[in-house]
Structure 1
Amino acid sequence: MIPREILKKVKRIEIQTRGLVNNFFGGEYHSVFKGRGMTFSEVREYQPGDDIRLIDWNVTARSGNPFIKVFEEERELTVFLIVDISASGIFGSGSHLKKNIGAEIASVLGFSAIKNNDKVGLILFSNEVV
């Protein structure tokens, strides 16, 4: 069961990306790579060197100048959360122990990434990877 306070924080936080990511996976973010991807982006005027297979003949016929279709590939992020669970996590006072705060931060970031349809991984370590 997920504590209610963490769920409230997940609803308030949003992992900020610049919308364009340079990643090699598919998902919710738009790639900086322009090309024949999955999502139509825009129509722009033909420039020498453009792929002639991308010419939008309807727009070209209406305007009298050649225009091409531009597409963007959808991408997603892969988020790895690396959390220290060593004995130093006992440092703090009351409910403000390092281990509790670390768990809360990892939970909020993880659930926020999942909400954005990103892949999430968790690595726990102390004096060795667990």
Structure 2
Amino acid sequence: MLKRLEWTVIRRLDGLLQGDYRTLMRGAGLDLADLREYQLHDDVRHIDWNVTARTGLPHVRVFTEDREMAAWFLLDLSPSVDFGSGEQRKRNVSAEFVGVLARMLTRHGNRVGAMLYGAGVDTVIPTRGGRRHVLHLLHAMQARPAGAENAGPTRLRDLLDAGAGVIKRRSTIFVVSDFISEPGWEKPLGMLAQRHEVVAVRLTDPLELQLPDLGLLTLRDAETGEQLLVDTHDPGFRKRFARIAAQREAELRESLSRAGVDALELSTEADLVDAVIRFTEMRKRRTRLNAGGGMPTHLKAA
């Protein structure tokens, strides 16, 4: 699998990103480089309160990023990610994303680790570098059987709490999940983002947002085993389904925004390269905003 991704995906990304991998995975920022006045969109966590009190004007610390960093993948492999309405399942999309990002990182001297969640957090792979380690990580994902029936609802909070307990040094964390979970994960995600650079990688499938007219269908909850007979020929039912799905989407995006994390959406029907490129462009815009848009302070005042 990794060899195929190196030929079909990573080569394309090499040309499109032109080596600008720091946009996708920012460093740990451990070295203080400078101080400057606070500007709109600056991270308030970087305010230097001593200098602010002394000068009477808010100042922020500017860091030099550490090129060698650790990245963690918190992987939701619960039964719901085994779903896919087409040729691809969300689990396959997750594995391809992890393979691509992990290989890109390790090729540039960084280390990657992972925590795997099924019915609970049962596997922790410490951070290491090298192609062999990426193969080990992918094998651990693929060797896991499909989610067991009636395993119970996903508790994403358990995965996030475990990550906070294990990952001590500031890292980039990719939470890869469909976010179909019991409530209560929002606060742990926000707390994780206060210490680390967190990216929420959402796995989606078009059938989760809108049902086509397929007549009578038996829908089964992959995590509880509950079954329900529905009539998708009824336009009223399809409309209600789409409305509820859209409401859930809006609530989920609002929760991720409140937690202060960037979000990357990966659909089972989308091209992985296009999704990663869109994400890097979004990160570039965020970086420019955090730097004050590149406009000198004296011109802003003017």
Alignment of 1:7-26 (within 5 A): 7=6, 8-13=8-13, 16-18=21-23, 21-24=27-30
Q: Does 1:76 align with 2:68?
A: yes
Larger radius of gyration between Structure 1 and Structure 2: 1
1:1-130 pair list within 5 angstroms: 2-4=2-4, 6-7=5-6, 8-13=8-13, 16-18=21-23, 21-24=27-30, 33=33, 75-130=67-122
Using a 3 Å threshold, how does the CA distance of structure 1 residues 32 and 117 change in structure 2: closer, same or farther? farther
Please give the secondary structure, in 2, of the residue aligned with 1:96: coil
Q: Does the 8 A contact of 1:23 with 1:77 survive in 2?
A: no
TM-score between the two structures when normalised by the length of structure 2: 0.25
List alignment gaps of at least 5 residues for structure 1. 25-30, 35-71
Q: 2:27·2:65 contact (CA, 8 Å) conserved in 1?
A: no
**Percent identical across equivalent pairs?**
27
Deviation at 1:81, TM superposition (A): 1.1
The answer to whether the 8 Å contact 2:27/2:66 transfers is no
Q: 1: distance between equivalents of 2:89 and 2:118?
A: 16
Structure with larger RCO (C-alpha < 8 A, sep 6+): 1
Specify whether residues 33 and 76 from structure 1 end up closer, same or farther in structure 2 by C-alpha distance, changes over 3 A only.
farther
Shift of 1:75: 3.8
In 1, the alpha carbon distance for the partners of 2:120 and 2:66 equals 36
Alpha-carbon distance in 2 for matches of 1:101, 1:119? 22
8 A Cα contact 1:22 1:32, kept in partner: no
The runs of at least 4 consecutive aligned structure 1 residues that moved more than 6 Å come to none
Q: How many residues align?
A: 86
Query: 2:111 & 2:99 partners in 1: Cα distance?
Result: 14
Query: RMSD of the TM alignment (CA)?
Result: 3.0
Residue 20 of structure 1, CA deviation? 7.3
Shift of 1:22: 3.9
Structure 2: runs of 5+ lacking an equivalent? 35-63, 123-302
If the length of structure 1 is used for normalisation, what is the TM-score?
0.52
Letter in 2 for 1:21: G
The answer to whether the 8 A contact 1:110-1:120 is kept is yes
Query: 1:32: how far off?
Result: 5.2
| Whole-angstrom CA distance in 1 between matches of 2:88 and 2:65 | 43
